[in-house]
Amino acid sequence: MKKMIFLQAFLHSIKLPNKKAMFQLNRIGMDIAVLYMFILLLLVSVPALIERLTATSGPGTDLNIFFRIIYFFIFYYLPMTVIVFLLLSLIAYISVGIAKLMKRKLRFAILWKMSAYTTTIPFILYTIIALIYPVSDSFLWLFLIYTFVFLIKIISVYPKRRIRTP
């Protein structure tokens, strides 16, 4: 049953900023969104893992394969995950301000989930390109603009706050 939720989250995140997909993703819990991000970041790190395992020079090349994998997860995957989660939180925080300026009724948690799901296409695109052609990790910073543009589109779809009259 959980596998189906991840598949639905993936399919809906590809359709963003579609209104129906956005509201379907809102119904998915935060725990699924966090696990989805861990899986997506694992996918993004595959090209770097392959590069690390096939490297003939550099740090950790004299280690056996088991320790290279552990080394990779400690010094690449874990820091990358922390940085991405912090950036998603910063993006969601800035988006809360944008939502207030646009007079939309949105909370931090919803915007965090939406920002996490908007990273699906850029991360998959990066992974495919990095498997074919060596790409710098700094290329991922360009996708920050993509996420902001989509979040603004997503925020504009939500209904405006009702103004209460006395």
pLDDT of residue 164: 61
pLDDT of residue 40: 94
Q: How far apart are CA 15 and CA 51, in angstroms?
A: 31
CA distances from 49 to 33, 60, 76, 89 (A): 24, 12, 9, 26
What pLDDT tens digit does each residue of the chain (166 aa) get? 566 888 888 888 988 888 888 888 888 999 999 999 999 999 999 998 888 888 777 766 677 888 888 888 998 899 999 999 999 999 999 999 999 999 888 899 999 999 999 999 999 998 999 899 888 767 777 888 888 888 999 888 877 766 665 6
Query: Which amino acid, residue 164?
Result: R
